[in-house]
Amino acid sequence: MELHVRLVKIWIIFVGVMLVSMVQAVTIANARIVVDINRGHANPLPIAVANLLGDENNIISGGSVNDYGKRISLVVKADLVRSGLFRTVASSAFIKSGNERENLLNPKFDNWKAIGAQALMNGSISVQEDGRLKVEFRLWDVLAGRQMTGFRYFTSPKNWRRIAHLIADAIYQRLTGESGYFDTRIVYVSESGPATHKIKRLAIMDQDGYNHEFLTDGKNLVLTPRFSPTAQEITYLSYNNNNPRVYLYNIDSGKQEILGDFPGMTFAPRFSPDGNKVIMSQAYKGNSDIYVMELTTRKITRLTRNSAIDTSPSYSPDSRYITFNSDRGGSQQIYVMDADGKNIRRISFGKGRYGTPVWSPRGDLIAFTRQYKGKFYIGVMRPDGSGERLLSESYFEEGPTWSPNGRVIMFFRQQPYDKNGRGGETHLWTVDLTGYNEREVITPLEASDPAWSPLIR
Amino acid sequence: MLKKIISAKYWALIGTVLFLSACANTGVKTGVQTPPPVKPAVKKVEKPVVAKPVEKVTTVPLMKNLNTQSSLNAVASGSLVHFAYDRYDLSAVAQAIIKAQVAWLQAHPTVTVTVEGNCDERGTREYNLALGDRRANSVKNYMVALGLDPARIRTISYGKERPLVIGTGKRVWAQNRRSYTRINN
């Protein structure tokens, strides 16, 4: 897998170089992707993440308290590095002087400066009488020699990974000025078996791939899960009883229920930002239109009435608008309408087809899938259709979903098959809004249809 | 419902007749082959008498076979109808295949079907679900126009979830853009 990722990167750089040398100032959209994928300009901030200090002789289930401290620091490092905005200073370079515990509140800034760290995280971990972990960390500005932030957390030992993600979020927020996205989960579709009859299961995991769980057993084909704004519920499409309909899944209770009593197939569900409604498509007698259902009253309102395919709806974060894709103009393109279905206007005008529009949690951008000349792209544009930028490209990719801070987009990518029918693997990927830092998200099996949760509260 | 019972009885009757005739045949054979035993090789004579009718008894598969998928597929080009890229209109070839399906279905009035709409993998998932629904309904509408009772036709879209052929390239994708008329169990 390592090699595979590296090959992709090399290939991307190669293509980037080719394009740069061939075209200098071409205004077609393809040219923009050159800037985005021509990596190496990023200047990640060097940060030293010290192991949280704990009692080596205090053994609890899963290791010593000090082991837990090391693990938490490792996960913090992994989160920060994966963001592409940070580079961790190797702990082998750390200069030890004096009592480490005493240094926690008075770091020897010159030592950290000497190894090139601009920021330092340190802290401690202990176990309380009730069995819970007590974790403290502080973030230091090495050059200015002062504390930037610090928090204390309490939780059960088996919940230690969340502490690490909360620390990483706090560091990210303090150093970038934007809220983090590490204490989040991904719901997606796990795939296995041959393409002609794939077994698909809903699965959920932490944003970094850990704490993985399957939610369904694979008996029914399931597609397109999406989180509610509380991250406690998922709406998705299930072929239960060979009847494709939109369902709700409660994560805590495991309870599944069909949503509404539609005569036709319902699909492409998504929650409204307040979580009180689910917007979706119904295909009835060969025509797909957009409907919205209020969850408490179960009242259904039809929003589009057109012989074209209207699907993949997504609310703006202020709930005033809905973006969707439609072929009403002759091919699949992106439209925006008012939340009541009025004022429908087309916003995508580039070459090719545009689909799967998803409104950014910040409201300023819409992410989409573009299909042009045998390639697929993930890109973003403003809600009025201006400022289109393509972030990634491949043989096939689609289905963007935003990190809750609107800085990272996750999607799925399928490799082509070779002449012998081998290949075709489908996996999750992330790319930064800048178009840099493309990474594969490791899952136990093949994976598609990711949906990013809001920050867990 | 009445028709069903009558036809069931009818087939049962044929079954019984065939079974009896099979028995009768062997009866005749044994009758011919029984010369007075000269040597005590009785077992050799009895063995074939017992074994032969076992293979010929059951006529039930014949009845099932007439209403099965393979029978429909045989007359209607595999029950497959193909579509152009991002299209759901029916070509002359597609119309001819659907006509053959309808003719077969009219000759088998108790059969109900599900028309499954499918797409190639070169499109986004949700759009393809809608497109598959269009294709399935396109076939259904033509069947109804040809006089088939709409109550006998269900439709379902699998979007790009159930490709027929695995691979990359125009020939592969063309084969996967299809509807399939499946007989309901």
Residue A14 has a pLDDT of 39
For B1-68, give the DSSP string.
-HHHHHHHHHHHHHHHHHHHHHHHHHHHHHHHT-PPP-SS-HHHHHHHHHHHHHHH---HHHHHHHTS
Structure token pair of residue A347: 């916003």
Convert the pLDDT of each residue in A130-163 to its tens digit: 999 999 999 999 999 999 999 999 999 999 999 9
Using an 8 Å CB-CB cutoff, list chain A residues near B143: none
What value does the mean pLDDT of chain A take? 90
Residue A421 has a pLDDT of 80
Query: Which is more confidently placed, B12 or A423?
Result: A423
Same domain, A298 and A368: yes
Give the range among A35-49, A174-188, A324-338, B31-45 with minimum mean pLDDT. B31-45
pLDDT of A40 > 90? The answer is no
Same domain, A121 and A167: yes
Question: Where in the sequence is the domain holding A33, given as residue range(s)?
Answer: 2-37
Same domain, A30 and A60: no
Q: How far is CA B9 from CA A160, A256, B5, B45, in A?
A: 70, 44, 6, 38
**Structural domain contains residue A73:** yes
**Structural domain contains residue A457:** no
Short-list A124, A174, A180, CA closest to A149: A174
Give the confidence band of A228 by pLDDT, cuts at 50, 70, 90.
very high
Q: How many domains does chain A have?
A: 3
φ, ψ at A214 (rounded to 5°)? -90, 135
Same domain, A299 and A417: yes
Nearest by CB to residue A194, choosing from B88, B122, B166, is: B166
Residue B17 has a pLDDT of 44
Across the beta sheet with A426-432, the strand order is A396-402, A408-414, A426-432, A439-441
Same domain, A416 and A369: yes
Give the range among A28-37, A441-450, B69-78, B91-100 with minimum mean pLDDT. A28-37
Mean pLDDT throughout B87-105? 96
**Structural domain contains residue A283:** yes
Q: How many Å lie between the alpha carbon of A339 and the closest alpha carbon of chain B?
A: 20
Task: To the nearest 10°, report the CA torsion of A435, A439, A208, A47.
Answer: -70
**Structural domain contains residue A407:** yes
**Structural domain contains residue A74:** yes
Q: Does A342 touch chain B (CB under 8 A)?
A: no
3-state secondary structure of A375: strand
Give the range among A319-328, B69-78, B100-109 with minimum mean pLDDT. B69-78
Rounded to whole angstroms, how far apart are CA atoms A113 and A119?
9
Same domain, A152 and A193: no
Beta strands in A273-403 (DSSP E): 277-284, 287-294, 300-302, 310-315, 321-326, 333-338, 345-346, 353-359, 366-372, 375-381, 389-394, 396-402
Using an 8 Å CB-CB cutoff, list chain B residues near A244: 129, 156-157
Name the residue in chain A with its Cα closest to that of B166: A421
Same domain, A76 and A23: no
Greatest Cα-to-Cα distance within chain A, rounded to the nearest angstrom: 77
ipTM associated with this complex? 0.89
Contact A451, A401 (CB under 8 A): yes
- Burial of residue B117 (CB within 10 Å: 0-12, 13-18, 19+) is buried
For residue A325, list its beta bridge partners: A311, A334
Same domain, A76 and A152: yes
Among B118, B121, B127, which would you mutate to test the A interface (most chain A Cβ atoms within 10 Å of its Cβ)? B127
Give the confidence band of B68 by pLDDT, cuts at 50, 70, 90.
confident
Q: Which chain B residues have any C-beta within 8 angstroms of a chain A C-beta? A: 86, 88, 121-127, 129-131, 133-134, 136-138, 141, 156-157, 161-168
Residue B29 has a pLDDT of 42
Whichever domain contains A220, its CATH number is 2.120.10.30
Same domain, A103 and A19: no
Window A:360-379, CB contacts with B under 8 Å: 369, 371
Name the residue in chain B with its Cα closest to that of A353: B123
Nearest by CB to residue A196, choosing from B88, B157, B164, is: B164
Positive or negative torsion for Cα B15, B20, B26, B28: negative
Structure token pair of residue B127: 């759009």
Convert the pLDDT of each residue in A358-416 to its tens digit: 999 999 999 999 999 999 999 999 999 999 999 999 999 999 999 999 999 999 999 99
pLDDT of B145 > 60? The answer is yes
Beta strands in B51-161 (DSSP E): 80-82, 113-118, 153-159
Using an 8 Å CB-CB cutoff, list chain A residues near B133: 264-265, 283, 286, 288
Same domain, A50 and A142: yes
Same domain, A102 and A140: yes
Window A:262-281, CB contacts with B under 8 Å: 264-265, 267-268, 281
Structure token pair of residue A400: 């963007």
Convert the pLDDT of each residue in A91-112 to its tens digit: 998 998 888 888 899 999 999 9
pLDDT of B156 > 50? The answer is yes
Among A242, A267, A284, A331, which would you mutate to test the B interface (most chain B Cβ atoms within 10 Å of its Cβ)? A267
- Would you list the domain boundaries of chain B? 2-65, 68-183
CATH number for region B68-183: 3.30.1330.60
Same domain, A19 and A153: no
Positive or negative torsion for Cα A156, A160, A162, A165: positive
CB proximity list for A202: less than 8 A, separation 6 or greater:
A187, A188, A189, A190, A214, A215, A216, A222, A225, A234, A236, A249
Across the beta sheet with A353-359, the strand order is A353-359, A366-372, A375-381, A389-394
Mean pLDDT throughout A307-315? 98
pLDDT of B33 > 80? The answer is no
Contact A373, A382 (CB under 8 A): no
Q: How many Å lie between the alpha carbon of B111 and the closest alpha carbon of chain A?
A: 19
Kindly determine whether residue B134 and residue A309, on different chains, have CB atoms separated by under 8 Å.
yes
Pairing of strands B153-159, B113-118: parallel
Contact B111, B65 (CB under 8 A): no
Rounded to whole angstroms, how far apart are CA atoms A438 and A122?
29
